[in-house]
Chain A
């Protein structure tokens, strides 16, 4: 058995319909579970960046990265271990407003976790917390006893410490 590690795969692509499907199908074909996925426009206009987190051996992550890069509309794929990246996840928690006023504990939890209250209505309020998975998990566990009405967490977003020079790759390609 090879060492399984957490890898963040960053995929720069053209902005084309159906590309998510094509990429996710490559994971499905190999029976690889995607831990989290997010996508947005990158630092370059009209170039999208997918961030996919998987638990795999390095050999497998390399292999699937090459398969993804082979797709026509994919420009470049990078994969990184956690220590090579700066990453965060965002979570939203919807809690009954009554518990905010009736139970002092809730206010302390929010204060200690450095979470933000982003909206308050007579019925509910919404807390936002951005951080590592363990931190958003911790807050989740703490709020459960006070009636968590809804909970949602984003996929990982990640930036590498080293240069990920997609612009120069594009310039090189455009020159050809």
Chain B
């Protein structure tokens, strides 16, 4: 426990609590009900940097990007009322993608609660379904204990967002402060180690006997810091490993056992062979519908082993034969010790054959197009070439996201930052800012569509004010491309409200003092990408890509993963 400090304000206590939790960077936007805390931020500006975003949604996405790049808890602050409601999309995003974030909102004085006071909103009720935990502090004495709990809950078990709403009186009032880190909560039980010895034995047997095993891993590997354990496990067992969009970068792209992405726009082989494997080992993933397609036919022939820390995920979407509840870091270690060494050469060859098929029909013309129009794929290929897979790649939502996740190459974990579960357009620009601040020594490239870019474009102001050296690539097809693709395929090409008449993005970037370049022809692309990556400062690159290109392969909604279409 920290030593007691006599009679400090609740607002000062909030800052001291953040410092106790090793927070030195937060994102936010001030306003009436949170002014006492901002006043303390002024005093503590040496210890705690506050980044003023241009919108509260930008603040929470930045906190998410910071967290995803650094592995630490992201912190965002906002005032009551609209400040708080503007956080909601980010909370929902963090909830679905298990991102540890603590949000602190100001609230009207406790005596005004329920009077519809100026900027009073019941953010506790509003944020309940989109937070792992939330709490309203009305009494100054509660602040240290509640903030300690908030950080503990956000980062432990399956991480997630926590919102703490603090009434103005609790910020102003004084008390004797001391801080004690939270080490556990009796109603919140985290099972780190597999307790069912028999399940473990059964899993080992299934893996040892498998002729055609397949691994699908998700973000649980990254959140559980189990990248090395995953690598050791697959190298010993020789099992091909595919990833969900949030699992991307946990295993180096060029690892010989990395067989690509599963799901709607994933790779041909792992999707097709999901319905052919005899044992499916799901690690830290939750069988999202975008991954499974039709659940009735999903891997129905296979014995399914599920390594998962959240017991509510087991048997939620897909019936599992052998659940291994616990941190996958521990479970993988145990499995690796017990399984026998294997190679599976014939089975692995199936993946290579199907990859070749996908290459011939899809990948080749995405990456090395012969048509005049620029493709998103070739932009990513050039980014790979100049970043050598060392960069953090941040994506928004839509066609560019799928293309980037399919083709971007990674050598390091925590390098793929994207909005997976919620599919939040507008996520990339602010989260790239957070990522750069969370990993300042690393290159951060945000790849964004022309639609999503304009959803949080105001955050260029944050980049400008803080001289944040993020690289922004807008893949401009003057369409909301993914919706347009669906309209083309399933709605008879009726392009309802998907065509975008865009402003001059170059002028906009220049107004924020960001070096900007627009590329319309293939011969200019490589030099522009090279110049962007070599730049030490923020850089904006607009690439005008083919307007009506589609992302393939594709599993139509409701179809089985093995119905994946190459064209």
A residues touching B (Cβ–Cβ < 8 Å)?
13-14, 17-18, 21-22, 25, 29, 62-63, 66-67, 69-70, 72-75, 170, 173-174, 176
Contacts and interface: CB of A to CB of B under 8 A. Distances in A.
B312 A67 contact: yes
Interface of B: 124-125, 128-129, 132-134, 136, 153, 184-189, 310-312, 315-316
Given A66-B312, A72-B133, A173 B189 contact: yes
Contact of B124 (A18, A70, A72, A75): A18
B375 to A, nearest CB: 40
B186 A17 contact: no
Nearest to A63: B316
A25 B128 contact: yes
Contacts of B128: 18, 21-22, 25
Contacts of A29: 129
Given A21-B125, A62-B315, 14 more contacts: A18-B125, A18-B134, A18-B136, A21-B128, A22-B128, A25-B128, A25-B129, A67-B312, A70-B311, A70-B312, A72-B132, A72-B188, A75-B187, A173-B187
Contacts of A72: 132-133, 153, 185, 187-188
Contacts of B312: 63, 66-67, 69-70
B186 A74 contact: no
A-B interface, 4 closest residue pairs, ranked by CB to CB distance from nearest: A66-B312, A72-B133, A75-B187, A173-B186
Nearest to B316: A63
Nearest to A174: B186
Contacts of A18: 124-125, 128, 134, 136
B136 A170 contact: no
Nearest to A73: B187
Contacts, number: 45
22 contacts: A18-B124, A18-B134, A21-B125, A22-B128, A63-B315, A63-B316, A66-B311, A66-B312, A70-B310, A70-B311, A72-B133, A72-B153, A72-B185, A72-B187, A72-B188, A73-B187, A74-B187, A170-B186, A173-B186, A173-B187, A173-B189, A176-B184
Nearest to B158: A70
Interface of B is mostly: mixed
B96 to A, nearest CB: 13
Contacts of B136: 17-18
Given A21-B128, A22-B128, A63-B316, A14 B187 contact: yes
Contacts of A25: 128-129
Nearest to A68: B312
Nearest to B153: A72
A160 B185 CA distance: 27
Contacts of B186: 75, 170, 173-174
Contacts of A14: 187
Contacts of A63: 312, 315-316
A17 B311 CA distance: 25
Nearest to A13: B187
Contacts of A13: 187
B496 to A, nearest CB: 28
Contacts of B189: 173
Contacts of B187: 13-14, 72-75, 173
A44 to B, nearest CB: 12
A153 B315 CA distance: 37
A46 to B, nearest CB: 11
B414 to A, nearest CB: 25
A174 B136 CA distance: 25
Contacts of A70: 310-312
A122 B485 CA distance: 76
B334 to A, nearest CB: 21
A74 B189 CA distance: 10
Nearest to B162: A72
A175 to B, nearest CB: 10
A174 B186 CA distance: 6
B421 to A, nearest CB: 14
Contacts of B311: 66, 69-70
B326 to A, nearest CB: 15
Contacts of B124: 18
B91 to A, nearest CB: 14
A66 to B, nearest CB: 4
Nearest to A17: B136
A69 B125 CA distance: 19
Contacts of A22: 128
Contacts of B184: 176
Contacts of B132: 72
Nearest to A66: B312
A49 B65 CA distance: 39
Contacts of B129: 25, 29
A69 B129 CA distance: 14
A25 B125 CA distance: 9
Contacts of A73: 133, 187-188
A3 B185 CA distance: 37
Q: Which of B124, B128, B311 gathers most chain A CB within 10 Å?
A: B128
A66 B310 CA distance: 10
Contacts of A67: 312
A13 B186 CA distance: 10
A18 B311 CA distance: 24
Contacts of B310: 70
A49 to B, nearest CB: 13
A13 B184 CA distance: 16
A174 B132 CA distance: 22
**A21, A25, A70, A174 — most chain B CB neighbours (10 Å):** A70
